[in-house]
């Protein structure tokens, strides 16, 4: 088979920055040649967070933020190419997820900014972007989109598995030995944990979950959170900061809770909602493969292992890919699917009328 090289770019709901991979395909699975990470500065992070809710002059603000994102994406591309000594003439395309600022599939739209046209100009490379819109147009959720890639990387004919992405939002992919691949967003992953840590620790996150681990869960608060209708809703379903944001959290609080206890409860919310979703929708799962930034949260990983036992819980590192790089790799794979005219979505996951070729193409 022809060997092809793609760049994959991912900036997710955690709002920490851009992850980039340089992936070589010789068949369906990628071999990662290099990776890079470009952080967001505090001002851009604040603006992207603000754009998740309606505000003044938001059309221009979103456009300007998209231009700034394109510059960040271009810097990540340059860094990943330099890190592997790969000339850009060898790269077929960039797969760029963009930054989600609104996700409203029930109203027929999803919005990811990042100015793919400007990224093509800045890099001189073909860019494939806007992966979610076609699935939404076909009646689907437009998310999660990584389950097809999870199936390529982690499925095994000998056992039922679940791939878990612990990003800002947590999602899971059920990989049964027999039957269709399914998946959905289970609820908050790191987004509320990071928000609360930012407010009370002045840090981007609770390092390894140590602050939460030393706190005590507030049962009444956890119960109020878990009563949100999203958790009981049947798949297909997807969510984001449109729902799980600071306003949602404040509505759950009485105002007199201990801050560290709230953090412990938020960690329990992520673990409990995931475990409940697995028990309800992934019967027989024997192995749980975790990817995303939350894989570095030791306290969360310990709690997940406790409440999903006897299933084995491990990170994607055990399967040859850094947990932090799985989603960026997925968008390199989706770009290849688009340019090859192959579908990238799974109707069994998103609920669309059928599988679709995903992505808008901006030639280099």
- For the chain, residues with pLDDT lower than 70 are 1-2
Q: What is the pLDDT of residue 2?
A: 67
Going by C-beta distance under 8 Å and a sequence separation of 6 or more, which residues neighbour residue 55?
61
Q: What is the pLDDT of residue 8?
A: 98
Give the sheet arrangement for strand 287-291, strand by strand: 182-188, 169-175, 161-166, 287-291, 312-315
* Buried-state track 10-41, b at ≥16 Cβ within 10 A, e below 16: bbbbbbbbbbbbbbbbeeeebebbbbbebebe
Q: What is the pLDDT of residue 13?
A: 87
Q: What is the pLDDT of residue 26?
A: 86
* CATH 3.30.420.40 domain residues, the chain: 4-141+323-362, 147-319
Q: What is the pLDDT of residue 55?
A: 93
Q: What is the pLDDT of residue 121?
A: 98
Query: Are the C-beta atoms of residues 132 and 143 closer than 8 Å to each other?
Result: yes
147-319, superfamily in CATH? Answer: ATPase, nucleotide binding domain (3.30.420.40)
**Residue 19 three-state SS:** strand
Among candidate residues 49, 51, 45, 53, the one with its CA nearest the CA of residue 17: 45
pTM: 0.96
* Buried-state track 182-202, b at ≥16 Cβ within 10 A, e below 16: bbbbbbbbbbbbbbbbbeeee
- Say if domain 4-141+323-362 classifies as CATH 3.50.50.60: no
**Residue 346 three-state SS:** coil
**Residue 298 three-state SS:** helix
The length of the chain is: 364
């Amino acid at each position: 088979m022809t060997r092809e090289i793609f760049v994959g770019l991912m900036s997710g709901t955690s709002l920490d920055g851009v992850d980039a991979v340089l992936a070589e395909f010789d068949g369906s699975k990628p071999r990662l040649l290099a990776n890079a990470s470009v952080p967001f500065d505090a001002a851009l992070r604040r603006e992207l967070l603000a754009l998740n809710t309606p505000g003044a002059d938001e059309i221009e603000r979103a456009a300007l933020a998209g231009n700034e994102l394109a510059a960040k994406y271009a810097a990540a591309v340059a860094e990943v190419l330099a890190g592997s000594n790969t000339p850009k003439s060898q790269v077929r395309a960039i797969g760029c997820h963009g930054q989600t600022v609104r996700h409203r599939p029930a109203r027929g739209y999803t919005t990811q900014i990042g100015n793919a046209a400007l990224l093509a100009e800045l890099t001189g490379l073909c860019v494939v972007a806007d992966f979610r819109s076609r699935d939404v147009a076909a009646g689907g959720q437009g998310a999660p989109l990584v389950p097809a890639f999870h199936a390529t990387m982690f499925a095994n004919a000998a056992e039922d598995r679940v791939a878990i992405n612990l990003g800002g939002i947590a999602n899971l992919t059920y990989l049964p030995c027999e039957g269709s691949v399914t998946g959905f967003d289970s609820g908050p992953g790191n987004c509320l944990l990071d928000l609360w840590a930012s407010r009370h620790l002045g840090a981007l996150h609770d390092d390894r979950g140590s602050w939460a681990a030393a706190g005590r869960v507030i049962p009444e608060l956890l119960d109020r959170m878990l009563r949100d209708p999203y958790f009981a809703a049947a798949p297909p379903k997807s969510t984001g900061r449109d729902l799980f944001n600071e306003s949602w959290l404040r509505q759950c609080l009485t105002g007199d809770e201990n801050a560290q206890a709230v953090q412990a409860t938020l960690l329990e919310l992520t673990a409990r909602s995931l475990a409940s979703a697995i028990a309800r929708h992934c019967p027989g799962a024997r192995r749980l493969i975790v990817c995303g930034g939350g894989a570095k949260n030791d306290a969360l990983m310990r709690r997940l292992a406790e409440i999903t036992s006897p299933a084995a819980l491990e990170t994607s590192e055990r399967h040859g890919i850094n947990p932090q790089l799985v989603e960026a790799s997925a968008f390199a794979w989706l770009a290849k699917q688009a340019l090859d005219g192959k579908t990238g979505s799974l109707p069994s996951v998103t609920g669309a009328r059928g599988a679709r070729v995903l992505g808008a193409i901006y030639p280099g």
